[in-house]
Amino acid sequence: MTSTFREKLEFTAAQMYYGQHRTMQSIARELGVSRSTVSRLLQDARDQGIVRISLHPPSEHTSALEYRLGEHYGIRAYVAASSAHEDAGVRAEAVAVLAAQVIDQLVEEDAVVGLAWGQTMTSVARRLPTREVPGLQVVQLNGSVNSQPGATDDAASGVSLRLGVVEQFAEAYHGRAYLFPVPAFFDYEQTKQALWRERSTSRVLNLQRRSTLAVFGVGTFHEGKPSQVYADGYLSREDLNRLTEQDAVGDVCTVFLRADGSWRDIELNSRSSGMRPDELRRVPRRICVVNGPHKVPALRGALAAGLVTDLVLDQLTANRLAHEEVGV
C-alpha cells in the first residue's frame, strides 16, 4: 500500500469515524478491512496530524461552578464551557466530548462498565477514543424492548440504536458487550419476577451488580424536550399521569425518582427493568451526564438519591443547578 493511498485511507476512516460518528465495525465493512485495521488507521491519522484533537482549559467561571457544585453535593463536577447564545447542538457536543474524556480516564483493565441507554449516552459513546483495554466488559443496565402501540424501532430512533450504544462503547475499547434483551417496562410485576429467575437473565443481573463504573443520564418529561423513554412511546398517557400524581420528576435507568430522591413507592418502578437506586449506589464510580437546563429537576432527584459520584454537564445546566440549590 503506497504512502499516498494509505494516507487517503486514514483520512477516509477518520472522516467516517469522527465526522459521521460511525462505528469501527461499520467502517471495516465498507472499506473491506478488519476492525483492528480500522483502529490502526485511526491511530495513524492522529499520529500523522490528519486528526487533531484540541483541549480548551475551562474558564475561571466554569472552574468556580465545578468547585461549588462539588462542595455542595460531595461529587466531582465537570462543566463543559458554553454560552446561552450557542446552539443547543453545540452545547450537546461539548458535553459529549467532555464526558468521553472523563469516562476514558476511569476505564481500566478488567473493569465492568454498566451503561444505560438514551440519546445522551449514544452521543457520548460515539466520541470515545479508541484503545485496547484487556478484560473490559460492558453491560446494559436497563431493558429497551418496547411493547407500546406506535413505538418506533427504526434505525434512526429505535431499539437497534439503543442496543448499539452498549456495543459501540465496548467496541471503542475492544471489550465485550452484554445486552439486556428484556422490556423497558413489564406489563405485570409477576412477569418480571418470573423472568428474573431465569438463568439467562440472572447472568446479566449478576454482571450488572459487579459493575465498577456506571454511566447514565437522567430522563425528564415535565418540561423542555422529553427524554427518549418518554418520546418513543414506552409509557402510556395513563402512566405519565400516574407519575405526575406521584410527584415523579424523572428517571435514572428507567427507574423513577422524586425531587427528594425517594423512589420505592412509585408504582411503575415495580415493573421497570432498570437497575434500582439502592443497587446503583453500590457501584464505586457513577458518572451522570446531563445536557440541558430542563433536566435540572430530574438531576436534583438523582443527586438527592446519592446516585452520582461524577457529574458532567453543560454550563447553562450548571448555572441553573447552582442558583437553585447553592445560591451562587
DSSP per-residue string spanning 169-230 = HHHHTT-EEE---SBSB-S-HHHHHHHHTSHHHHHHHHHHHT-SEEEE--B--SSSSPPHHH
User: 4 and 43, same structural domain?
Assistant: yes
User: 151 and 115, same structural domain?
Assistant: yes
Last residue of a domain, one of 53, 73, 94: 53
- pLDDT at residue number 140: 96
101: nearest Cα among 75, 76, 83, 67: 76
User: 49 and 79, same structural domain?
Assistant: no
The pLDDT tens digits along the chain (328 residues) read 455 788 888 889 888 887 776 778 888 888 989 988 988 898 888 888 887 765 555 555 568 889 999 999 999 999 998 766 667 788 888 999 999 999 999 999 999 999 998 888 999 999 999 999 999 999 999 998 654 444 444 433 333 444 489 999 999 999 999 999 999 999 999 999 999 999 999 999 999 999 999 999 999 876 555 556 665 667 788 888 899 999 999 999 999 999 999 999 999 999 999 999 999 999 999 999 999 999 999 999 999 999 999 999 999 999 999 987 544 4
CATH number of the domain that 302 lies in?
A: 3.40.50.1360
User: 5 and 76, same structural domain?
Assistant: no
User: 215 and 123, same structural domain?
Assistant: yes
Write out the H or E segment, with its range, that includes residue 68.
Answer: helix 60-73
CA dist 144 and 130 (Å) reads: 26
21: nearest Cα among 95, 88, 97, 85: 97
User: 22 and 74, same structural domain?
Assistant: no
| Number of domains making up the chain | 2
User: 116 and 40, same structural domain?
Assistant: no
- pLDDT at residue number 35: 86
CA dist 157 and 252 (Å) reads: 19
DSSP 8-state symbol, 272 = B
User: 143 and 13, same structural domain?
Assistant: no
Coil, strand or helix: which one is 326? Answer: helix
Cβ neighbours of 8 (radius 10 Å): 12
For the entire predicted model, the pTM comes to 0.77
User: 136 and 17, same structural domain?
Assistant: no
User: 258 and 180, same structural domain?
Assistant: yes
CATH number of the domain that 29 lies in?
A: 1.10.10.60
User: 19 and 110, same structural domain?
Assistant: no
Last residue of a domain, one of 35, 53, 71: 53
Write out the H or E segment, with its range, that includes residue 279.
Answer: helix 277-280
> For residue 2, what are the domain limits?
1-53
What sign does the dihedral 138-93-130-5 (CA atoms) show?
positive
Instruction: Give the start-end residues of each E strand in the chain.
Output: 76-80, 112-115, 137-140, 176-178, 213-216, 248-252, 255-258, 285-290, 310-314
Q: Quote the Cα angle for 192-298-221, to 5°.
A: 75
User: 166 and 61, same structural domain?
Assistant: yes
